[in-house]
Structure 1
Amino acid sequence: MLDKILAVWGTPRTRSTTFLWMMKQRGDFHTFHEPFGQSFYLSEDRRSNRASDQPPRADMNYQAILDMLESHKGQEGRSVFIKDLTYHVAGMCDADFMSHFHNVFLIRDPAKTLPSLYSLLPDFADDEVGYDTQYQMYEIALASSNGAPPVIIDADELADNPEAMIRGFCERLGIPFIPESLQWDNIPPSTKLTWWIGGDDHHGNLKTSTGFRTNRFKDYVDVSDVPKLAKAYEECLPYYQKLYANRLNTSS
């Protein structure tokens, strides 16, 4: 059992909910879907007005969520796993906050994530992307890693070769590799995967999948076709490239 919360930090549209579903199949982790997203949007500490029509909730404050996650460690003999988005903890992710977690970073080329995000949330704000925060978090985790750099997984390489990537991930984290966790039955359409204020439609691909390789239901615009995306891509790409250079590479 891990001594800390295992956290996979992604930006939107990096297959992170698929990663969480894989972890759920293992059976040895309590799993939580974007718990700090509730802090970002719905708590007394919230940093977005997207859900301003809903009253703020003290039980979703950042410290309350962290305390809740810590309280689950060891329950039923299981460790704790979260997947969350980096922008949800922007401004919170100092060394003390990061010390509560075994930090793993799930990355993906912004040329793919940004059009997908735009198709779901065309009015996304600059602070709802998170590549800059992801790199900041990596640097903080690296500084306190004692020579064992944090694991970085590229989402597309994960989809292309899930067994090798997850085996490498497990080896680095010191947890058993469970091959059976890489496959699952179709998820019932009624299954609620998220608390997200906009609903659960953005997980349609996952619900019809049986593994990391998902079906694609629609075509997306190119980042060069929309000025908002072109600007975001220019800003995000350098952070992605820096993280990609240090990713888990199973071919070496």
Structure 2
Amino acid sequence: MKIAMWSGPRNLSTALMYAFAARGDCAVWDEPFYAAYLRETGIAHPMHDQIIAAHEDDPERVAAGCVGEIPQEQSLFYQKHMTLHMIPEFDRGFMRDLTNVFLIRHPARVVASYAKKREGLTLADIGFVQQAELFDQVAGWMGEAPLVIDSADIRADPRAALTQLCEALGILFTENMLHWPAGPKPFDGVWAPHWYGTVHRSTGFEEPEGALPQLSADYQAIVDQALPYYEKLAAFRM
């Protein structure tokens, strides 16, 4: 099985990738289209040049890798995708051959976390609009809503949330998914030193989050724009 997990940044996406990697039967791929996205758009991201130099930047080759043979002779292939990377210039046909799942997080938490790592964020940077668009496209192909999981539910009860996710995917849950070794992982993208500090210090999912963060007026305006897209997908969460 090839699982494509679609989220914006700062959505618990790396921790969930680590959980699947810890299973022992699952190969993982960290943000396959990141370099192609940067090459095509020219957007200034931290470590821009290093990312393009270190990773495949041809979107057709990346897509072929997503649907090709599963690496390392594993039975599962988990792909951590950023919704903002799937720009209109890239052919999305490959997604038809994947099991597409959507990981969501309240935009206030996303904005508060993202702003600590990169200044001048915009609505497009956090992927909510793109996520809703991809959700609709996949739903159109399937004739029903694809799976949606909320990061808040994972943090509230990781075992229950991941058990439910695995059941929906038709795979067995394993306790190994709840823990991983601290530190960088060999499958991390080259961008990990900038973005993954917190998850590198972790050995499992963090405790549930408290109240929503207080934000500046500018950041709150972005949250207000993103909220309808989040709520649309949240209506379908497991």
Please say if 1:63 is aligned against 2:60: yes
Which of 208, 212, 233 is 2:205 aligned to? Answer: 212
Q: Within 1, Cα distance between the matches of 2:125 and 2:137?
A: 21
- The verdict on how the C-alpha distance between 1:36 and 1:59 changes in structure 2, with shifts beyond 3 A counting, is closer
Asked whether the 8 Å contact 1:105–1:151 carries over to 2, the reply is yes
Stretches of 4+ moved more than 6 A in 1?
A: 54-58
- Report the AA paired with residue 13 of structure 2: S
Please say if 1:247 is aligned against 2:231: no
Which of 32, 36, 39 is 1:39 aligned to? Answer: 36
Asked whether the 8 Å contact 1:11–1:85 carries over to 2, the reply is yes
Q: Within 1, Cα distance between the matches of 2:157 and 2:106?
A: 17
Which of 210, 215, 226 is 1:236 aligned to? Answer: 226
Question: Which structure has the higher relative contact order (CA within 8 Å, separation 6+)?
Answer: 2
Aligned counterpart, 2:82:
85
- Report the AA paired with residue 78 of structure 2: F
- Report the AA paired with residue 210 of structure 1: T
Identity of aligned residues (%): 26
Query: Per-residue deviation at 1:49?
Result: 2.9
- Report the AA paired with residue 222 of structure 1: Q
- The verdict on how the C-alpha distance between 1:176 and 1:215 changes in structure 2, with shifts beyond 3 A counting, is closer
Q: TM-score, normalized by length of structure 2?
A: 0.86
Please identify, of 31-40 and 47-56, the stretch whose mean Cα deviation from structure 2 is larger: 47-56
Q: How many residues align?
A: 233
Q: Within 2, Cα distance between the matches of 1:55 and 1:188?
A: 20
Query: Per-residue deviation at 1:130?
Result: 1.0
Aligned counterpart, 1:49:
43
Query: Per-residue deviation at 1:111?
Result: 0.9
Corresponding residue SS for 1:83: strand
User: Aligned Cα RMSD in Å?
Assistant: 2.7
Asked whether the 8 Å contact 1:103–1:151 carries over to 2, the reply is yes
Which of 189, 192, 195 is 2:190 aligned to? Answer: 195
Q: Within 1, Cα distance between the matches of 2:51 and 2:232?
A: 39
Q: Which runs of 5+ in 2 are unaligned?
A: none
Q: Within 2, Cα distance between the matches of 1:203 and 1:55?
A: 15
Give the 5 Å matches for 1:121-140: 121-140=118-137
Corresponding residue SS for 1:139: helix
Q: TM-score, normalized by length of structure 1?
A: 0.82
Q: Which runs of 5+ in 1 are unaligned?
A: none
